[in-house]
Homo-oligomer: A and B are copies of this chain.
Amino acid sequence: MDLESELRVHDLRVTTPRRLVWQVLSESADHLTAQSIFEKVNAVDAAVNRSSVYRTLSLFAEIGLARESKLGEDEASRWEPAHADDEIHLVCESCDSVLHHSGDVVRSLRSHLGDHHDFEARAVEIVVRGRCATCGPAPASESTSEPSPAS
């Protein structure tokens, strides 16, 4: 996806903060916090301010380049390049990894709500917290901790 043209389409200027934020965002596979994006950007160009990063991120969200999601029960927002809307987040509480899953859940939920409950779904947000395949199928009956707990 081309940042420049995407910005131009919306009559927005191509600036250093925007270029850098986009670079960081699209290069990282992970779900980053605004803070860590700021740090990465700042490491490249110390002149870029935190506010600009925040402003740029919400701008990107508006024009559909980025997506914000609150994954942790408490934590700050996480950012990622925009995806298809039908993505749900699987957050592993053991290793903190975040998987994407796109199935027909969202689609069928949408139509179910529309058909039977007259509710027109616009945005569907699904976050599932649990344990991923790598961290073992079942949490030991007691110790609720990392894959290699110090017993």
Interface, chain A (partner B; CB < 8 A): 68, 70, 73, 90, 92-93, 99, 101, 103, 105, 108-109, 112-113, 117-133, 137-139
Pick from B103, B119, B138: contact of A120, CB under 8 Å: B138
Pick from B112, B120, B123, B129: contact of A123, CB under 8 Å: B129
Which 4 residue pairs are nearest across A and B when measured between Cβ atoms? A118-B133, A121-B130, A122-B130, A123-B129
A89 CA / B121 CA spacing, docked (Å) = 11
Give the shortest distance, in Å, between A63 (CB) and chain B (any CB).
16
A125 CA / B125 CA spacing, docked (Å) = 8
Copy number in the complex reads 2
A112 CA / B106 CA spacing, docked (Å) = 13
Known: A70-B70, A123-B129. 11 other contacts (CB 8 A): A68-B73, A90-B119, A101-B117, A101-B119, A109-B128, A119-B130, A119-B132, A122-B129, A122-B130, A123-B130, A125-B125
Report yes or no: A126 in contact with B126, Cβ–Cβ below 8 A: yes
A129 CA / B105 CA spacing, docked (Å) = 16
Report yes or no: B129 in contact with A121, Cβ–Cβ below 8 A: yes
Report yes or no: B130 in contact with A118, Cβ–Cβ below 8 A: no
Give the shortest distance, in Å, between A45 (CB) and chain B (any CB).
28
Report yes or no: A118 in contact with B132, Cβ–Cβ below 8 A: yes
CB-CB < 8 A to A121: which residues of B?
A: 128-130
Report yes or no: B129 in contact with A113, Cβ–Cβ below 8 A: no
